[in-house]
Structure 1
Amino acid sequence: MNRFLLYARTLAHLQLQQIFALVQKRILPARTVISDFKDVQLREGIGLSACISRSRLSGNEFVFSFLNQTREFPEGKIDWLCKDMPKLWRYNLHYFDYLLDSDRCSKAKARLISDWIDRNPIGIGDGWEPYTLSLRIVNWIKFFLGGEGSVLERWSHSLYHQTLWLERNVETHILANHYLKNGVALFFAGMYFRGEDADRWLLKARQILHRQLDEQFLGDGGHYERSPMYHAISVRDYLDVLNLIYNSRIGITYEGTERLEVRTRLAVEFLRDLCLPDGEIPLFNDAAFGIAPCPADVISYAHSVFDYVPQPYNSSFAVKEKAFSGYYVTREGPDMMVIDCGPVGPDYQPGHAHADTLSFELALDGRRVVVDTGVYDYEPGSRRAYARSTRAHNTVCVDGQDQSEVWGVFRVARRAYPLYASLTSDRPGHALFLGAHDGYRRLPGRLTHERMIEYFSPGRWTVRDTVQGKGEHSIESYLHLHPDYEPHIVAGVVEVRDRTGRVHMVVEPPANATTTLRSGCYFPEFGKELANSIIVMAYRGRVPVTLTYRMLKTVTPQ
């Protein structure tokens, strides 16, 4: 791909404030501040109930395990630069999520805070990037309010200075979940400290939090980046804000708190509806296990913050249409399908988008069988490129091209846009999804991909793909299987067996396609790669053409 055109097609979608901030960031140094901290004061009456964290101690106090990579440091000699580790790993080291780990002793936590202050000069290294600053500010304040010991004056001074730095370097060049994190950090610091600076932080934070609530959370409760993982993270952020408001008695009136709670409740409900029967999120759009709090913890946290109680499903059969976000759910008992047919994300920030329109995940008897590939890392390389590509998803690829021009680590040039999408049910046990996208209109013949998925109880799915347009093209449709299952071609159909040889599903491939099996890879967590199998149904010829396959749930007797 022509790199100049990629840049042009990517930059064309940015907001003016992003372009201005990017130019400013490239030309000018980070905006710093000098303060003698003579008047650092804390508010009285600040409170916080128990928060949630996924950080857990690994080995001893100075062993850190993030993204399935572990480093052990000599006691009192943390290498905060860690240049041999991936950038996201270094970010996690600076987040200080481990302060909320109950298995790590308070003295070790205190040593880590002091060591960070001593060895991280202002403005130098990953620890001073606004995103890491934001998470660390919140985690330090949570720890300080947790009552695990006295808070040293130098800790408060450092925290104050970090917030001054953040205030002058908010991420208006990125926006999205980064900007929201900046707002949450400024809110926590504005509540924790007292004085003119703190009041200014609080005012700025309120503006960010309320505006981003409307901007980032859609009418169905979903987060606009369309990543279930970042949805869960952002929901936790707003729960933290409400937690701090409801447990503090400092004589400040919070306009809009009721609206914050109503919208956060809807976002919690969205998360619950999207979870597969194993209780975890689908892995669309840079989602992985083990980063965000698990959905059960988010729901429990929502209950503790504002008495959220999930409503029971009306019956064993349910359909959920999340039209604003572009997710469509069919559930019957322990079987569930989640279909993705939404925009790649906000036009100005699709950094976590994958080229996966009309893909799906499928669980049978409570276990994932057809899976999204997931995400391995945020580093340039073959794994990152593959995870974002169309061929890594359960959808149709034309002429070997991605639906959306994903490139670099977080960039997207030309994007696939949904043309329509709907999920209907005219009776229990029957559902019909219809959707289409225009991602291949840039190819010769101006192609569109239309997909119909029809569900019949019990356990039967018909998938009909139609590629409209002109000319001769190569078309491949993929089914990525969970590593616990293996495909076997038998008498023209594909049997999907577990490791004991039991057949859980039969795939009847299109009569006009050639069916083959390929080896693939599955990234359920950052830094974790598992081998899996891919069913590939291929066609080469003229379009328009329709390819139809069926998936039939069937378990042989034991």
Structure 2
Amino acid sequence: WLFGLYGFLESPATTAERVTVLAQMVAISGKRIEANLDYALSQRNNHGISEGVGLWTIGLLFPELERSGGWLDLGSRVIERLGRDLIYEDGSFSQHSVNYHRLMLHDFLWAIRLGDINGRRLSQGLRERVAKACGWLYRMQDEMSGWVPNYGQNDGALVLPLNNCDYRDFRPVIQAAHYLSTGTRCFPPGPWDEDLLWLFGREALDSPTVQPERTPLAAEKGGYYTLRSSGGFAFVRCASFVDRPGQADMLHVDLWWRGQNVVLDAGTFSYNAPEPWNNSLAHTAYHNTVTVDGLDQMDRVGKFLWLPWLKSRVIRFDHSNGESHTQWEGEHDGYMRLKKPVSHRRAILQLPDEKWVILDKLQSTGKHSYRLHWLLMDVPFDWDEKRGLLVLHTAAGPFSVQVGVLTEG
């Protein structure tokens, strides 16, 4: 609405009557948001942030409305509080989703920039949290493609579609958030700069490029870890939740190689499609981890509710040796709730020459059925059943996956 209003304000088709009708619709939206704000805040996710940004926007751009002053103050308080509470100290976000992380950054970018333009500067503390969230996303990103793991719930949301980059390309939002925080760009000039033009003006396109090193990520509160190599990276999930989980996917691993997501996350597809597609991809079996007896790591008691919340811990993360080798090890207690409890521990070892070793150890005093799940990119392949060797024929060359089992006793 507001892009349309300001974009076509001088058009002959824009009449005073039409602007009045639009202003009335904006006022009704403000009343609806205020009346239902408590529910949005109770979700502790993008809903509350977006509602706060809506009130802030109406208050700034429509001062002639009767409630605009109250909406402006309320929106400011909501934005400041949720920026502090929902962006963790390590830069990760309470909603456990990379795409919702982008939505959150878009909301805060819009709110902060709109406040600056209209002489209502939001706090330095909020800006610092947004900078941490930007840094988190940068370190979750593939260097070559600009894409990120398709991790967590994803309903296709993109609240600031200001460029022609691919939907999966996160360089536009990272570039804009990095510029907001530093006054510099972290990527060389490209189509991802269009957000800068829309949000900050032409002068942003002349800012210098200072590209930070993309170091391994250890976001302990959010539970996100990356291991980097010269040709790609591994991402692994290992969290103890402080906010509601969206999926049962502990120790899930993504692998990226030469700009390709060769071992990947299925995403969401749809929340409300007919069975079996009504958010089914949130289950453990659709992630690159191990299931026990065909069960999820937590019990799904609602479309967006899992209980009891599992706990995870990192045992080792040693990346001091750089390219020679990097190792990570962690475990979760999701299957300790079973009558015959099962512990699941996973280790990842990155070796020279783009080799990755992933080891799973499952222990229990009882008998169980264990199943290892790997979702691989959709390309031609060769399968050698005797050797347990799969060769993916990717555009960047062959990528080999080999599996094996060791049993005790």
Instruction: Encode CA deviations 1:110-130: one digit per residue, 9 max, x unaligned.
Output: xxxxxxxxxxxxxxxxxxxxx
Pairing partner for 2:254 from 349, 361, 367: 361
Correspondence for 1:330: 227
Aligned counterparts of 1:301 and 1:146: Cα–Cα separation in 2: 21
Instruction: Encode CA deviations 1:511-553: one digit per residue, 9 max, x unaligned.
Output: 44xxxxxxxxxxxxxxxxxxxxxxxxxxxxxxxx69xxxxxxx
Aligned counterparts of 1:169 and 1:290: Cα–Cα separation in 2: 21
Higher mean Cα deviation, 181-190 or 440-449? 440-449
After superposition, residues 134-153 of structure 1 pair within 5 angstroms as: 140-146=1-7, 148-149=9-10, 150=14, 152-153=19-20
C-alpha displacement of 1:404:
1.5
After superposition, residues 415-494 of structure 1 pair within 5 angstroms as: 415-420=309-314, 422-429=316-323, 430-486=325-381, 488-494=383-389
Correspondence for 2:138: 272
The question of whether the paired residues in 2 share the 8 Å contact of 1:495 and 1:503 is answered with no
Instruction: Encode CA deviations 1:156-183: one digit per residue, 9 max, x unaligned.
Output: 1221122112211122443421111110
The question of whether the paired residues in 2 share the 8 Å contact of 1:388 and 1:406 is answered with no
Correspondence for 2:185: 309
The question of whether the paired residues in 2 share the 8 Å contact of 1:166 and 1:182 is answered with yes
Correspondence for 2:174: 299
Q: Which SS does the other structure have where 1:441 is aligned?
A: helix
Instruction: Encode CA deviations 1:409-435: one digit per residue, 9 max, x unaligned.
Output: 222122222133552213121111111
Aligned counterparts of 2:371 and 2:247: Cα–Cα separation in 1: 17
Aligned counterparts of 1:175 and 1:426: Cα–Cα separation in 2: 36
Aligned counterparts of 2:337 and 2:240: Cα–Cα separation in 1: 17
Pairing partner for 2:115 from 242, 245, 258: 245
The question of whether the paired residues in 1 share the 8 Å contact of 2:271 and 2:279 is answered with no
Pair 1:377-2:270 in alignment: yes
- Report the AA paired with residue 372 of structure 2: S
C-alpha displacement of 1:146:
3.7
Aligned counterparts of 2:179 and 2:108: Cα–Cα separation in 1: 13
C-alpha displacement of 1:281:
2.0
Q: Which SS does the other structure have where 1:382 is aligned?
A: coil
C-alpha displacement of 1:304:
5.5
Quickly say closer, same or farther: Cα 1:508–1:384, change in 2 above 3 A: same
Correspondence for 2:192: none
Count of matched residue positions in the alignment of Structure 1 and Structure 2: 365
Percent identity (aligned): 22
The question of whether the paired residues in 2 share the 8 Å contact of 1:180 and 1:209 is answered with yes
- Report the AA paired with residue 46 of structure 2: N
The question of whether the paired residues in 1 share the 8 Å contact of 2:84 and 2:126 is answered with no
Quickly say closer, same or farther: Cα 1:199–1:422, change in 2 above 3 A: farther
When normalised by structure 2's length, the TM-score is 0.82
RMSD of aligned C-alpha atoms? 2.5
Listed as ranges, the gaps of 5+ residues in structure 1 are 1-139, 513-544, 547-558
Higher relative contact order (CA 8 A, sep 6+): 1
More strand by share: 1
Pairing partner for 2:23 from 132, 140, 156: 156
Q: Which SS does the other structure have where 2:369 is aligned?
A: strand
Q: Which SS does the other structure have where 2:110 is aligned?
A: helix
Listed as ranges, the gaps of 5+ residues in structure 2 are 162-168, 187-209
C-alpha displacement of 1:384:
3.1
Pair 1:395-2:289 in alignment: yes
After superposition, residues 122-137 of structure 1 pair within 5 angstroms as: none
Quickly say closer, same or farther: Cα 1:295–1:159, change in 2 above 3 A: same
Q: Which SS does the other structure have where 1:473 is aligned?
A: coil
- Report the AA paired with residue 266 of structure 1: K
When normalised by structure 1's length, the TM-score is 0.61
Quickly say closer, same or farther: Cα 1:229–1:345, change in 2 above 3 A: farther
C-alpha displacement of 1:245:
1.3
Aligned counterparts of 2:154 and 2:315: Cα–Cα separation in 1: 22
